Amino acid sequence: MWIENLTQREVFADKRFVLASNSPQRIKLFKLLGCLFDVIPHGIDENVWDNNLPPHELVQNLASLKACNVAEGMNDVFIIGADTIVLHNNDIYGKPKDQNDAKRILSLLNNSVHEVLSGVCIKEMPSGRESVSVARTKIKMKDISMNEIERYVQSGEPMGKAGAYAIQGEGERFIDKIDGSYSNVVGLPLELLEKMLIDFVKK
């Protein structure tokens, strides 16, 4: 199975969690941790970036903002925020604005290597204690034709996906090689998140 080996679910049994996201992919992945959680959308504009920040700091900052945006007034809860971007030739790509933007992004990623970065933030309330980290996965994309890109974009799958593809969907056929966490590319690096949670809740 592609999902990372999750072994410490009992640690989370008596904890309450909130996932600051309405992403179906992140919700599905978070369920694999085996803990009870609520979903509260964060309301942060993911396409407004501080271009002065290095990419690894950018995703951590956005993950923290998402967690903080839903934290007010909460008690006895651990809030999880996450943000994912694609980095290619030092350029950052998030979710495509429209189909033309999706075609542009896929054309640039075509037949080359890019990185998927996900920032993860855990925020405890009401203490405000916070842990933030980042996961990186390298992806080698196949040489795909413009006709294939066109058909894929027309399917609608690239919309709402960082880098304009879904590795867990039809976009998988464009991937030649993956080096690192698969779940990170889907949108939530479970191996990293589990380790962060274990370290965090035991303190």
Among all residues, which ones are annotated catalytic?
83
3-state secondary structure the chain: CCCCCCCCHHHHCCCCEEECCCCHHHHHHHHCCCCCEEECCCCCCCCCCCCCCCHHHHHHHHHHHHHHHCCCCCCCEEEEEEEEEEEECCEEECCCCCHHHHHHHHHHHCCCEEEEEEEEEEEEECCCCEEEEEEEEEEEECCCCHHHHHHHHHCCCCCCCHHHCCCCCHHHHHEEEEECCHHHHHCCCHHHHHHHHHHHHCC
